[in-house]
Amino acid sequence: MDQPRYLVGQLLLSMPGIGDPRFARAVIAICVHDDDGALGLIVNHPLPMLKVGELMQQLDVEPGVTPDVAVRAGGPVEPGRGFVLHSTDWAGQSTIDVTGKYAMTSTLDVLKAIAAGTGPTRWLSALGYTGWAAGQLDEEMTRHGWHSIPHDDALVFDTPFEQQWPRAFASAGIDVGHLSAQAGRA
C-alpha cells in the first residue's frame, strides 16, 4: 500500500531501531505536515509525576471537573509549551482541525472549557511537540525509522499508554515481536 505524500491526520509509529531514546516505542499524532515540515504530538509517553489538574493549577486554571490524568511528553521541541489533542466536537479560536479526524489547541481556553465540563469529549494534554524541518520526515520514512497508520481515536484516547505502541502495529497486522532493530535493503 502506498504511503500518503503528507502524513497529516496519521499516526506515526517509531520502529525499534529509531536510535533516539526520546522516541522509543512512540506513537505520534501528526497534526501538520507539508512542504515546510511536520509537527506531531507523542501520545503514549506520560510525564512522570505531572497530572493535568496540577498543570492547570500551575497555570491558574481551577481544575473543576477535570479527571486527574497524566500529561504526555509531546516531544522534545519547546517542552514548556502546552498542547491539547482532542475530538472535533469543540473548537476555540486557535484550534487546528486535523483533516476532520481530531484537533489540536495550544491556548488556555481549551483547558478552561475542560475544567468547566464544556470542552471536547475526548482529549489528552501534552507538553512539547515533535517537529521535523522541510523534507526531514520524508527522509526519515525512507530510512525506515517510522511506520504510519490511519488515525484511531480508540487507540489514542482510550488505550493505556503501555499498550498503544504494540496495539498500533497490531492494527496494521504487524506483530512487534517480529520487528528488527536493523533495517536493510534488498
- Of the candidates 63, 175, 60, 79, the one whose C-alpha atom is nearest the C-alpha of residue 126 is 79
pLDDT above 70 (res 182):
no
- Provide φ and ψ at 112, rounded to 5°: -65, -40
| C-alpha span between 149 and 112 (Å, rounded) | 32
pLDDT greater than 50 at residue 1: no
pLDDT the model gives residue 68: 85
Predicted TM-score (pTM) of the model is 0.92
Neighbours of 1 (CB within 10 A): 4
177 has a pLDDT exceeding 50: yes
Q: Is the dihedral of CA 16, 22, 28, 30 positive or negative?
A: negative
Give the pLDDT score at 46: 97
List pLDDT tens digits, range 26-83. 999 999 999 999 999 999 999 988 999 999 999 999 988 888 899 999 999 999 999 9
Q: Does domain 10-178 have CATH number 3.40.1740.10?
A: yes
Average model confidence (pLDDT) across the chain: 92
On whether the CB atoms of residues 61 and 77 are closer than 8 A, the answer is no
Which grid cell sits at 15?
A: 520502529
Q: What is the pLDDT of residues 104-116, one digit of tens each?
A: 999 999 999 999 9
Domain boundaries, the chain: 10-178
pLDDT digits (tens, 9 = 90+) for 124-141: 999 999 999 999 999 998
Per-residue confidence band for 184, with pLDDT thresholds at 50, 70 and 90: low
| Cα–Cα dist 164/170, whole Å | 10
Torsion region of 17: left, alpha or beta (phi above 0 gives left; psi -120 to 50 gives alpha): alpha
Q: What is the mean pLDDT of residues 158-162?
A: 96
> What pLDDT shows up at residue 107?
93
* Cell (9 digits) for 171: 492494527
* Predicted local distance difference test score (pLDDT) of residue 183: 55
Note the pLDDT of residue 143: 82
For residue 86, is pLDDT > 60? Answer: yes
